[in-house]
Amino acid sequence: MVIFWRLFLSHLLADFTLQFNIVNTLKRKYFWGMGIHCLTHFLVSVALTYCYLGDVWFRLGSVEVNGWGALVLMLVVHFLIDELRIYSMKHLGYNDGTVSFLVDQFLHIYLLFLISPVVPLDGGLFMAEKWTGIIAMSVLVTHVTTVTIYFVEKDFFSKQFPSFDEKYFLIFERVVLWSFFFASGWWCLPFAAAWVVQLFYIRRKRIMDLSLTNILLSLTLTSAIGLWTRYIYYGSLFR
Protein backbone atom coordinates (compact mmCIF):
# COMPACT_ATOMS: atom_id res chain seq x y z
CA MET A 1 0.00 0.00 0.00
CA VAL A 2 2.99 2.32 -0.39
CA ILE A 3 1.53 4.08 -3.43
CA PHE A 4 -1.91 4.43 -1.82
CA TRP A 5 -0.38 6.06 1.26
CA ARG A 6 1.64 8.48 -0.86
CA LEU A 7 -1.48 9.37 -2.82
CA PHE A 8 -3.39 9.77 0.44
CA LEU A 9 -0.70 12.18 1.65
CA SER A 10 -0.85 14.11 -1.62
CA HIS A 11 -4.64 14.39 -1.22
CA LEU A 12 -4.34 15.74 2.32
CA LEU A 13 -1.68 18.26 1.31
CA ALA A 14 -3.58 19.48 -1.76
CA ASP A 15 -7.08 19.48 -0.23
CA PHE A 16 -6.09 21.07 3.08
CA THR A 17 -2.55 22.36 3.63
CA LEU A 18 -2.12 23.82 0.11
CA GLN A 19 -5.74 24.83 -0.43
CA PHE A 20 -5.34 28.43 0.67
CA ASN A 21 -8.37 30.66 1.14
CA ILE A 22 -7.83 32.29 -2.25
CA VAL A 23 -7.72 28.88 -3.97
CA ASN A 24 -10.89 27.77 -2.17
CA THR A 25 -12.65 30.95 -3.29
CA LEU A 26 -11.48 30.70 -6.90
CA LYS A 27 -12.41 27.03 -7.29
CA ARG A 28 -15.97 27.80 -6.20
CA LYS A 29 -16.30 30.60 -8.76
CA TYR A 30 -14.38 29.57 -11.86
CA PHE A 31 -13.49 26.43 -13.81
CA TRP A 32 -9.89 27.61 -14.00
CA GLY A 33 -9.87 28.05 -10.23
CA MET A 34 -10.93 24.42 -9.87
CA GLY A 35 -8.24 23.57 -12.39
CA ILE A 36 -5.57 25.17 -10.20
CA HIS A 37 -6.72 23.13 -7.20
CA CYS A 38 -6.85 19.82 -9.11
CA LEU A 39 -3.54 20.48 -10.86
CA THR A 40 -1.93 21.11 -7.47
CA HIS A 41 -3.11 17.68 -6.36
CA PHE A 42 -1.79 16.14 -9.58
CA LEU A 43 1.66 17.74 -9.25
CA VAL A 44 2.03 16.79 -5.58
CA SER A 45 1.01 13.23 -6.48
CA VAL A 46 3.60 13.12 -9.27
CA ALA A 47 6.29 14.35 -6.88
CA LEU A 48 5.46 11.74 -4.23
CA THR A 49 5.06 8.76 -6.59
CA TYR A 50 7.59 9.67 -9.28
CA CYS A 51 9.68 6.51 -8.91
CA TYR A 52 6.58 4.34 -9.43
CA LEU A 53 4.99 6.15 -12.38
CA GLY A 54 6.38 3.76 -14.99
CA ASP A 55 4.93 0.73 -13.21
CA VAL A 56 1.55 -0.80 -14.03
CA TRP A 57 -0.91 0.27 -11.32
CA PHE A 58 -4.08 -1.46 -12.49
CA ARG A 59 -5.76 -3.03 -15.50
CA LEU A 60 -8.94 -2.11 -17.34
CA GLY A 61 -9.76 -5.38 -19.04
CA SER A 62 -6.73 -6.13 -21.17
CA VAL A 63 -5.39 -2.57 -20.96
CA GLU A 64 -2.55 -1.95 -18.52
CA VAL A 65 -2.59 1.50 -16.91
CA ASN A 66 0.68 2.81 -15.51
CA GLY A 67 1.17 5.51 -12.90
CA TRP A 68 0.98 8.38 -15.38
CA GLY A 69 -2.32 7.15 -16.78
CA ALA A 70 -3.69 6.56 -13.28
CA LEU A 71 -2.82 10.09 -12.18
CA VAL A 72 -4.36 11.65 -15.29
CA LEU A 73 -7.53 9.66 -14.55
CA MET A 74 -7.35 10.89 -10.94
CA LEU A 75 -7.02 14.48 -12.17
CA VAL A 76 -10.12 14.23 -14.37
CA VAL A 77 -12.29 12.45 -11.78
CA HIS A 78 -11.12 14.81 -9.01
CA PHE A 79 -12.23 17.76 -11.16
CA LEU A 80 -15.63 16.15 -11.82
CA ILE A 81 -16.24 15.26 -8.15
CA ASP A 82 -15.46 18.77 -6.94
CA GLU A 83 -17.44 20.44 -9.73
CA LEU A 84 -20.43 18.22 -8.93
CA ARG A 85 -20.22 19.25 -5.28
CA ILE A 86 -20.12 22.95 -6.20
CA TYR A 87 -22.98 22.52 -8.68
CA SER A 88 -25.14 20.67 -6.14
CA MET A 89 -24.67 23.50 -3.64
CA LYS A 90 -25.26 26.33 -6.11
CA HIS A 91 -28.13 24.90 -8.15
CA LEU A 92 -29.67 21.99 -6.25
CA GLY A 93 -29.76 23.53 -2.80
CA TYR A 94 -27.54 21.01 -1.05
CA ASN A 95 -26.02 22.27 2.18
CA ASP A 96 -22.26 22.83 2.31
CA GLY A 97 -22.05 21.00 5.61
CA THR A 98 -20.59 18.02 7.41
CA VAL A 99 -22.30 15.35 5.30
CA SER A 100 -21.27 17.00 2.04
CA PHE A 101 -17.69 17.36 3.31
CA LEU A 102 -17.44 13.73 4.47
CA VAL A 103 -18.98 12.33 1.27
CA ASP A 104 -16.55 14.41 -0.78
CA GLN A 105 -13.59 13.11 1.22
CA PHE A 106 -14.82 9.51 0.98
CA LEU A 107 -15.12 9.73 -2.81
CA HIS A 108 -11.62 11.17 -3.19
CA ILE A 109 -10.00 8.57 -0.94
CA TYR A 110 -11.97 5.72 -2.52
CA LEU A 111 -10.76 6.87 -5.94
CA LEU A 112 -7.16 6.75 -4.70
CA PHE A 113 -7.74 3.22 -3.43
CA LEU A 114 -9.18 2.13 -6.79
CA ILE A 115 -6.22 3.37 -8.83
CA SER A 116 -3.53 2.17 -6.41
CA PRO A 117 -1.80 -1.19 -6.91
CA VAL A 118 -2.58 -3.45 -3.97
CA VAL A 119 0.29 -5.59 -2.71
CA PRO A 120 -0.93 -7.68 0.28
CA LEU A 121 2.51 -8.14 1.83
CA ASP A 122 3.80 -4.56 1.69
CA GLY A 123 2.69 -3.51 5.18
CA GLY A 124 -1.10 -3.56 5.08
CA LEU A 125 -3.74 -0.87 4.83
CA PHE A 126 -3.18 0.72 8.23
CA MET A 127 0.62 0.70 8.09
CA ALA A 128 2.58 3.12 5.95
CA GLU A 129 6.17 4.12 5.40
CA LYS A 130 6.95 5.95 8.61
CA TRP A 131 7.68 9.30 6.99
CA THR A 132 4.57 9.16 4.81
CA GLY A 133 2.34 8.06 7.66
CA ILE A 134 3.61 10.60 10.18
CA ILE A 135 3.30 13.54 7.76
CA ALA A 136 -0.21 12.38 6.84
CA MET A 137 -1.15 12.11 10.52
CA SER A 138 0.24 15.59 11.16
CA VAL A 139 -2.02 17.04 8.45
CA LEU A 140 -4.98 15.11 9.86
CA VAL A 141 -4.41 16.42 13.38
CA THR A 142 -3.90 20.02 12.23
CA HIS A 143 -5.79 21.15 9.13
CA VAL A 144 -8.21 18.26 8.57
CA THR A 145 -9.45 18.32 12.17
CA THR A 146 -9.84 22.11 11.97
CA VAL A 147 -12.08 21.85 8.91
CA THR A 148 -14.05 18.89 10.30
CA ILE A 149 -14.82 20.72 13.54
CA TYR A 150 -15.76 23.85 11.58
CA PHE A 151 -18.39 21.96 9.56
CA VAL A 152 -19.86 20.29 12.66
CA GLU A 153 -20.10 23.62 14.52
CA LYS A 154 -21.48 25.30 11.41
CA ASP A 155 -24.26 22.70 11.14
CA PHE A 156 -25.22 22.73 14.82
CA PHE A 157 -24.40 26.28 15.93
CA SER A 158 -24.11 28.28 12.68
CA LYS A 159 -20.54 29.22 13.60
CA GLN A 160 -18.20 30.92 11.17
CA PHE A 161 -14.76 29.58 10.29
CA PRO A 162 -12.47 30.09 13.31
CA SER A 163 -10.41 33.25 13.55
CA PHE A 164 -6.65 33.11 13.07
CA ASP A 165 -6.03 33.08 16.83
CA GLU A 166 -8.56 30.35 17.59
CA LYS A 167 -7.50 28.20 14.63
CA TYR A 168 -3.79 28.16 15.42
CA PHE A 169 -4.26 28.03 19.19
CA LEU A 170 -6.24 24.80 18.83
CA ILE A 171 -3.78 23.43 16.27
CA PHE A 172 -1.01 24.02 18.82
CA GLU A 173 -3.05 22.32 21.56
CA ARG A 174 -3.73 19.29 19.37
CA VAL A 175 -0.13 18.97 18.17
CA VAL A 176 1.18 18.95 21.75
CA LEU A 177 -1.33 16.27 22.77
CA TRP A 178 -0.55 14.28 19.61
CA SER A 179 3.19 14.41 20.36
CA PHE A 180 2.68 12.46 23.61
CA PHE A 181 1.77 9.40 21.53
CA PHE A 182 5.34 9.21 20.23
CA ALA A 183 6.69 8.49 23.71
CA SER A 184 7.77 4.92 24.37
CA GLY A 185 5.72 3.29 27.11
CA TRP A 186 2.85 4.99 28.86
CA TRP A 187 4.75 7.15 31.36
CA CYS A 188 3.51 10.27 29.57
CA LEU A 189 -0.18 9.61 30.29
CA PRO A 190 -0.27 11.88 33.40
CA PHE A 191 1.29 14.71 31.39
CA ALA A 192 -1.19 14.19 28.54
CA ALA A 193 -4.04 14.21 31.08
CA ALA A 194 -2.70 17.44 32.57
CA TRP A 195 -2.62 18.96 29.09
CA VAL A 196 -6.27 18.01 28.58
CA VAL A 197 -7.20 19.56 31.95
CA GLN A 198 -5.55 22.87 31.06
CA LEU A 199 -7.61 23.02 27.86
CA PHE A 200 -10.83 22.77 29.88
CA TYR A 201 -9.41 25.38 32.28
CA ILE A 202 -8.86 27.76 29.36
CA ARG A 203 -12.47 27.28 28.30
CA ARG A 204 -13.80 27.78 31.84
CA LYS A 205 -11.81 31.00 32.31
CA ARG A 206 -12.86 32.15 28.83
CA ILE A 207 -9.26 32.87 27.91
CA MET A 208 -10.39 31.61 24.51
CA ASP A 209 -14.04 31.33 23.47
CA LEU A 210 -14.22 27.59 22.78
CA SER A 211 -17.35 25.49 22.65
CA LEU A 212 -17.54 22.19 24.50
CA THR A 213 -18.22 20.49 21.15
CA ASN A 214 -15.01 21.94 19.76
CA ILE A 215 -12.93 20.70 22.70
CA LEU A 216 -14.47 17.23 22.80
CA LEU A 217 -14.04 16.74 19.05
CA SER A 218 -10.47 18.04 19.22
CA LEU A 219 -9.59 15.61 22.00
CA THR A 220 -11.39 12.64 20.44
CA LEU A 221 -9.93 13.10 16.97
CA THR A 222 -6.44 13.85 18.28
CA SER A 223 -6.48 10.75 20.47
CA ALA A 224 -7.64 8.53 17.61
CA ILE A 225 -5.05 9.98 15.24
CA GLY A 226 -2.43 9.69 17.98
CA LEU A 227 -3.11 5.97 18.43
CA TRP A 228 -2.93 5.46 14.67
CA THR A 229 0.36 7.38 14.58
CA ARG A 230 1.75 5.26 17.40
CA TYR A 231 0.84 2.11 15.48
CA ILE A 232 2.63 3.41 12.39
CA TYR A 233 5.68 4.58 14.34
CA TYR A 234 6.21 1.52 16.56
CA GLY A 235 4.30 -1.15 14.64
CA SER A 236 2.26 -1.71 17.80
CA LEU A 237 0.17 0.27 20.26
CA PHE A 238 1.85 -1.35 23.24
CA ARG A 239 5.43 -0.11 23.15
pLDDT one-digit tens code per residue, 123-139: 555 677 899 999 999 99
Could you tell me whether strands 63-66 and 56-60 are parallel, antiparallel, or unpaired per DSSP bridges? antiparallel
107 in the same domain as 185: no
Percent of the chain with pLDDT over 90: 78
- State residue 122's pLDDT score: 54
* Beta carbons of 13 and 126 less than 8 angstroms apart: no
Residues 77, 119 within the same domain: yes
Residues 145 and 53 in one domain: no
- The residue count of the chain comes to 239
Residues 203 and 145 in one domain: yes
Chain segment 197-220, per-residue pLDDT in tens: 999 998 888 878 889 999 999 999
> Is residue 83 domain-shared with residue 181, that is, in the same domain?
no
In a domain, 204, yes or no: yes
Q: Are residues 151 and 205 in the same domain?
A: yes
Last residue of a domain, one of 125, 160, 182: 125
Per the CB < 8 A criterion, the answer to whether 209 and 162 are in contact is: no
The boundaries of the domain holding residue 10 are 2-125
In a domain, 239, yes or no: no
Domain identity same for 169 and 68: no
What pTM does this model have?
0.92
> Quick check: helix, strand or coil at residue 112?
helix
Give the residue among 66, 23, 72 at the shortest CA–CA distance from 43.
Answer: 72
Is 198 domain-assigned? yes
- Whether residues 116 and 168 share a domain: the answer is no
Q: Do 75 and 180 reside in the same domain of the chain?
A: no
Both 115 and 199 in one domain: the answer is: no
Closest CA to 70 of 113, 21, 31: 113
Q: Indicate whether 187 and 221 sit together in one domain.
A: yes
How many structural domains compose the chain?
Answer: 2
